[in-house]
Amino acid sequence: MWLPVLGLIVGILLGLLTDIRIPEEYSNYLSIAVLAALDTLFGGIRAHLQNIYDEKVFVSGFFFNIILAASLAFLGVHLGVDLYLAAVFAFGVRLFQNIAVIRRILLTKWSTNKEKIEKN
């Protein structure tokens, strides 16, 4: 369970140490890609906790969501419509839902554990 967090920290450290910067114009794309990746990650954690985790779905979803979000943002820029807001909205909503589900599952687990301990 703690492995993703550890990986996240390692990734952030790596990124900060390498000191890579992308042009300002592309930060939009990267931010939406980050959002998509986070959505996939939380979806994966939820699926893991619900025991319906499928690695293929997880990995393909990760890449596919990132590409879709970035291309949506690209299209939006070229059409002159802030289309990336659609992606932000969709991913944001899903992020909240996933986190809520994770929280509930963890709460149930925690309370059942507590009951077990009390019974003992």
Instruction: List all residues 6 or more positions away from 69 whose beta carbon is below 8 Å from its beta carbon.
Output: 32, 33, 35, 36, 84, 87, 91
**Can you tell me the distance from the alpha carbon of 72 to that of 10, in angstroms, rounded to the nearest whole number?**
29
Least Å distance, CB 32 to other proteins, is 10
Establish if 37 lies at the interface with other proteins (CB under 8 A). yes
Which DSSP category does 92 fall into?
A: H
Least Å distance, CB 100 to other proteins, is 20
Q: Is 86 exposed, middle or buried (0-12, 13-18, 19+ CB in 10 A)?
A: middle
By C-beta, is 33 or 87 nearer to other proteins? 33
By C-beta, is 51 or 120 nearer to other proteins? 51
Give the footprint of other proteins on residues 73-102 (CB under 8 A).
Answer: none
Establish if 4 lies at the interface with other proteins (CB under 8 A). yes
| 83, 75 Cβ separation under 8 angstroms | yes
Establish if 41 lies at the interface with other proteins (CB under 8 A). yes
Residues that bind other proteins (CB under 8 A): 3-16, 19-22, 24, 27, 30-31, 33-34, 37-38, 40-41, 44, 48, 53, 55, 58-59, 62
